[in-house]
Amino acid sequence: MARKWMSLILAVCLMLGVMMPAAFADETKTFIVAMTEDPKSFNPDAQADDSGWPVFQNLYDGLFQLNWNNEIVPDLCETYTISDDGLTYTFNLRKGVKWHDGEDFTANDVKFTIESIMDPDNGSENAPNYEDVEKIDVIDDYTIAFQLDAPNVAFLDYMTMAVLPEHLLERYQECCGFYACTVPNLMQQAICQFMQEGYFEKNLNRMRAIYKSKHDFMLAELKKYSWVREIMGENSGLHLLVEVDTDCSEQDVIEACAEQQIRVYGLSEYYISQNPKREYPILLLGYGGLTEGQIADGLQMIDAILKQNE
C-alpha cells in the first residue's frame, strides 16, 4: 500500500509545533517526531483514540482519506454512487493494489474489515460508527455495496477507516496481539525515575503518616459516643467498622444520614451470599478523603440522628 511519510512529517510538525532538527537533512534520512503518547494498539480498527492516528494515517489506507483541506477524497475507492434514498452505497475499488506480502487487495478485504469492527465479540471502539449497516454485498472483486437501515451523512467519513486483510490480521494477532499500551510511555518513564530516585517511597511514607493521623483521630472520636458498641478493623483499610447500639435498622440509619448529606455504608451490602441476621447494624465509616474537622462534625451529626430516633 502507498505510504505517505511526508504527510506524517508535515502533519505532526504542524499539529505539535515540532522543530525540524538539522539532522533531518543529513545522510541518515531519519526524522524523529515527538508524540503525546504511544498508540494503544497497532490495530486501527480496534481503537478510536487519537494517540495512534498520526501513525495509522501513514501505515494504512481506507476507501477514503481526508486531504489537507479536511475534505473527504477517494483513496482505495476510485468511484462511488449513493442511491436516491441514501440507503445504498456502492464503491468501485482501485485495481492493481497489493498488500506488502504480494496478495491482491479486493472487496473481500473491505467486507472483512467492517464486519470485524461490527462484531461485538471483538469489542471495537469504532463499532458505533457502523450501527446503520444492515447488509454488505461483495458484487465482484472490485465492487462492494453497503445497505443501511437509515441515511447517514457521515458514512463516507467512516469509510476512511483502515482496511485490513484477514490473512495479515491473523498474523498480527499471533505476533503482536499482546501489545496494549494503556499508559503513555512518557508517563511510565517519569514514574520509573520517580521510584528510582526514592521519591515514591518518600511519598508513601508521607501518605501513611497522614492517614494514620486521620485513623487515630477518628478512633479517638468514636470512643466518646455511647452508641458505639464495638469498633472493628482498626488495623486495616481507610475505614472503620462500627457496631451501632440502636433500635433502628441498618437501612434506616443510612437513609437518615443521607438526608443530612452524610454518606455511610452498611456492612450488609458487602456480603456475597445471604446477609446474616444481626442484632445491631454495622456501619462502614471512611476517613481517607476527610479532614479531622469533617470527621468530628460528621460523627456529631450521626450522634444527633441516632438520638432523634431513640
Pick the CATH number of 5-185 from 3.30.559.10, 3.40.50.150, 3.90.76.10, 3.40.30.10: 3.90.76.10
Domain regions of the chain by residue span: 5-185, 208-308
Q: Checking DSSP bridges between strand 64-66 and strand 72-74, what pairing results, if any?
A: antiparallel
Q: What is the pLDDT of residue 29?
A: 72
Q: Largest Cα–Cα distance in the chain? A: 86
List, for residues 281-299, the tens digit of each pLDDT value: 999 999 998 999 999 999 9
3-class SS letters over the chain? CCCCHHHHHHHHHHHHCCCCCHHHHCCCCCCCCCCCCCCCCCCHHHCCCCCCHHHHHHHCCCCEEECCCCCEEECCEEEEEECCCCCEEEEEECCCCECCCCCECCHHHHHHHHHHHHCHHHCCCCHHHHCCEEEEEEEECCEEEEEECCCCCCHHHHCCCCCCCHHHHHHHHHHHCCCCCCCCHHHHHHHHHHHHCCHHHHHHHHHHHHHHHHHHHHHHHHCCCCCEEEEECCCCCCEEEEEECCCCCHHHHHHHHHHCCCCCEEHHHHCCCCCCCCCCCEEEEECCCCCHHHHHHHHHHHHHHHHHCC
The single residue listed with the C-alpha cell 498520526 is: 54
Amino acid identity of 301? Answer: M
Q: Express each pLDDT in 33-47 by its tens digit.
A: 777 777 777 777 776
Q: How far apart are CA 33 and CA 12, in angstroms?
A: 7
Ranges of the chain with pLDDT below 50: 1-25
Place of cell 465509616: 285
- The rounded distance, in Å, linking the Cα atoms of 91 and 105 is 14
Could you report the per-residue pLDDT of 118-138, keeping only the tens digit for each?
998 888 888 999 999 999 999
Separation between Cα atoms, residue 4 and residue 61, nearest integer Å: 10
Domain 208-308 CATH class label: alpha beta
How much is the pLDDT for 16? Answer: 37
